[in-house]
Amino acid sequence: MAYDEALATRVKETLSGRSDIIERNMFGGLAFMLAGNMCCCVTDNGLIVRVGPEGYEDALAHPHAGVMDMTGRPMRGWVLVQPEGLISDAGLNGWVARGAEFAAGLPAK
């Protein structure tokens, strides 16, 4: 699989206290699903985080966060956090928590 396995291990550790997370191979990476909704996905380029439309502009204002564009069209409500923004545990934990918080507010699938 073409994703950062060390980052995936760190994300798993961050989410280890939750019993409602399922891992799924998606987008060439490893996605973390909360009640059927993706909250984040480890890729070879960093971490895709679901922040929702309301949190999109704020998320983009953070260093190392950028537009998530897989198909030639930006996906509003999702950001790609570059590896530099995930070096510290605090940085990674903050992004993972943000994605999980948004996904937890969605209806279960």
Residue ranges in 2-84 assigned as alpha helix (H): 5-15, 52-60
pLDDT of 84 > 70? The answer is yes
In the chain, % of residues over pLDDT 70? 99
Residue 37 to residue 50: CA distance in whole angstroms: 9
The CATH class of 5-104 is alpha beta
- The pLDDT score that the predictor gives to residue 1 is 54
Residue 86 to residue 96: CA distance in whole angstroms: 10
In the chain, % of residues over pLDDT 90? 87
- The pLDDT score that the predictor gives to residue 74 is 87
Residue 3 to residue 103: CA distance in whole angstroms: 22
Contact in structure between 1 and 73 (CB atoms under 8 Å): no
pLDDT of 52 > 90? The answer is yes
- The pLDDT score that the predictor gives to residue 72 is 82
- The pLDDT score that the predictor gives to residue 3 is 93
DSSP category for residue 95:
H
Contacts of 35 (CB under 8 A, 6+ apart): 20, 103, 104, 106, 108, 109
